[in-house]
């Protein structure tokens, strides 16, 4: 079986648009993303788990495997995830399909998707899907290598959302900014 790094590099070469990076996320970034969830969160969804570094951190935070659902389009990554994380639910499909596969009871969606490399309409569709499966108090956790949240102010306003910076992770290549997005207060 390929190591996580070898699997990631192979997929980065074979499917660069899906992977959108030449290196996997660091453990420091995974821990910064997972720091916002725990057993009290209830159901957690992860969009784009890749090789599972963030998945591992989510489970280490005390989220039970039966409370974790993964959405991964890459079949090679999905096969490795299924073998590595028994007990989690895995859907081999795009994140935008989550509302057709899950009830709106999710406490948090953790996204490792390269949203900034996607067309604006798809970004909005994915973030909208996240909020369709979440409870009213749910949070969307996203990282980016860019300087701003992966949705424009207009996009956030259209979806009725607000974003805040959570943590800058210097121990990642390249450095990454973690954002927490939630429904705007009325």
pLDDT tens digits, 22-36: 467 899 999 999 999
Kindly report the CATH number assigned to the domain that includes residue 100.
Answer: 3.40.50.150
State how far the Cα of 6 lies from the Cα of 53, in Å rounded to an integer. Answer: 14
Give the residue, 4 or 131, on which the prediction is more confident: 131
pLDDT tens digits, 64-115: 999 999 999 999 999 999 999 999 999 999 999 999 999 999 999 999 998 9
Domain that holds residue 160: 4-183
Q: Dig out the tokens for 8 from the structure.
A: 């990631």
pLDDT tens digits, 46-70: 999 999 999 999 999 999 999 999 9
* Number of domains, the chain: 1
List of residues 6+ apart from 72 with CB closer than 8 A: 48, 49, 50, 78, 81, 90, 91, 92
Q: Match 């369709």 to its residue by tokens.
A: 132
pLDDT-derived band at 116 (thresholds 50, 70, 90) equals confident
């Amino acid at each position: 079986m390929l190591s996580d790094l070898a699997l990631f590099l192979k997929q980065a070469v074979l499917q660069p648009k899906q992977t959108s990076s030449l290196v996997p996320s660091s453990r420091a970034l995974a821990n910064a993303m997972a720091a916002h969830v725990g057993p009290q969160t209830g159901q957690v969804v992860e969009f784009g788990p890749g090789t599972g570094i963030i998945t591992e951190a989510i489970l280490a935070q005390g989220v039970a495997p039966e409370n974790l659902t993964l959405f991964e389009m890459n079949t090679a990554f999905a096969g490795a995830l299924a073998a590595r994380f028994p007990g989690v639910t895995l859907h081999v499909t795009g994140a935008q399909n989550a509302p057709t596969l899950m009830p709106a009871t999710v406490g948090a969606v953790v996204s490792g998707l390269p949203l900034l490399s996607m067309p604006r309409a798809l970004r909005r569709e994915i973030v909208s899907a996240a909020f369709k499966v979440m409870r009213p108090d749910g949070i969307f956790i996203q990282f980016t290598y860019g300087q701003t949240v992966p949705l424009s102010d207009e996009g956030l306003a259209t979806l009725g959302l607000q974003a805040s910076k959570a943590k800058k992770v210097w121990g990642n290549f390249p450095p990454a900014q973690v954002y927490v997005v939630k429904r705007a207060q009325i």
